[in-house]
Amino acid sequence: AAKAAELLKIFFLDPQAKMNPSLQFAQAIPGVTPGRGIGIIDTLHLAEVPLAVRALEKSKAFPSEVSAGVKQWFRDYVEWMTTSKNGNEEANAGNNHAVAFWLQVAAFSRLTGDEAKLTECRRRFKEVFVAKQMTNDGSFPAELRRTKPYAYSIFQLDNLASLAQLLTRDEENLWFYALPDGRGMRQAMEFLYPFLADKSKWPRKPDIQAWEGWPARQPCLLFTGLALDEQKYLDLWQKLPADPTDAEVRRNIAITQPILWLRP
């Protein structure tokens, strides 16, 4: 806990070393643009930091001022994400970028206790991601149109499952939310599962990059298996590589410490 606090201070609190709570210049292209909304996806891996902080707060070795400072950093970052031009573009993207955006907002807002933002995340989950991005067979057409449809389908479902895991509460279980035509987490997992279990069944051309590296221990298998009590998903998760070596695969799996996501 003490070492974690030291690292958190460097990244979030030290005036000389910290990252500013903004991605205004993310994915800048010299001579073209000083920064793009799509660059906000690059902080997706920070989604586990708030969960780690919640766990660390139980230790006497974790200073309360570090906890307070990190919470303020994420509070400021969410404010920038949800009010800036770049953030607005990403928040309303019609594909995986919006899911990744709102997964970050959910993770950060859960730490800071921003119930209004969490309510908006739940609304987006139901009214946008399920209702507008998913078809009634459980697939995501915007991801299937890409040159890496297999990887993007996995990435999308991983992040949507992570959203359901974060946002579900006793009075609102997103795992069981479904539209009248069946669209919901169960349908999405049923669509992708056969191709995670046997990639040779994938009906499209192989992805142009990292085809051999997928799948690994995808969070969607673990979270959905536990939430829906589907043992086959858990069995497959156990069989898949826990530590993929392909850099592209590693980059696209933001949930690396699933135990943090299973704690209340």
Q: Is the pLDDT score of 263 beyond 80? A: no
Residue 87 falls within a domain, yes or no? yes
Q: Which residue among 78, 104, 124 closes a domain?
A: 124
Interatomic CA distance for residues 195 and 203, integer angstroms: 9
Interatomic CA distance for residues 146 and 209, integer angstroms: 12
| Residue-averaged pLDDT of the chain | 97
Confidence of residue 118 (pLDDT cuts 50, 70, 90): very high
Question: Are both 116 and 175 inside the same structural domain?
Answer: no
Question: Are both 166 and 239 inside the same structural domain?
Answer: yes
Question: Are both 47 and 166 inside the same structural domain?
Answer: no
Question: In 3D, which of 218, 162, 185, 197 has the Cα closest to residue 44?
Answer: 162
CA dihedral 88, 184, 52, 42 (to 10 degrees): -40
Domain total in the chain: 2
Q: Which residue among 100, 124, 148 closes a domain?
A: 124
Question: Are both 13 and 41 inside the same structural domain?
Answer: yes
Residue 235 phi, psi (nearest 5): -65, -45
Would you state the pLDDT for residue 27? 87
- pLDDT tens for 65-113 read 999 999 999 999 999 999 999 999 999 999 999 999 999 999 999 999 9
Interatomic CA distance for residues 44 and 157, integer angstroms: 14
Q: Which residue among 82, 103, 124 closes a domain?
A: 124
Residue 94 falls within a domain, yes or no? yes
Q: Give 183-187 contacts, CB < 8 A, sequence gap 24+.
A: 183/130, 183/131, 183/134, 183/135, 183/136, 183/138, 184/130, 185/160, 185/161, 185/224, 185/227, 185/228, 186/224, 186/228, 187/134, 187/136, 187/137, 187/138
Question: Are both 109 and 174 inside the same structural domain?
Answer: no
Confidence of residue 13 (pLDDT cuts 50, 70, 90): very high
What is the distance of C-alpha 45 from the center of its chain? 8
Question: Are both 112 and 219 inside the same structural domain?
Answer: no
Question: Are both 264 and 138 inside the same structural domain?
Answer: yes
pTM for this prediction: 0.96
Residue 239 falls within a domain, yes or no? yes
Question: Are both 143 and 198 inside the same structural domain?
Answer: yes
- pLDDT tens for 201-246 read 999 999 999 999 999 999 999 999 999 999 999 999 999 999 999 9
Residue 129 falls within a domain, yes or no? no
Q: Which range marks the domain in which residue 11 is found?
A: 1-124
Interatomic CA distance for residues 29 and 239, integer angstroms: 41
Residue 215 has what DSSP assignment? -
Question: Are both 107 and 142 inside the same structural domain?
Answer: no
Per the CB < 8 A criterion, the answer to whether 130 and 183 are in contact is yes
Question: Are both 94 and 152 inside the same structural domain?
Answer: no
For the record, the structure tokens of 89 come out as 């573009």
Residue 75 falls within a domain, yes or no? yes
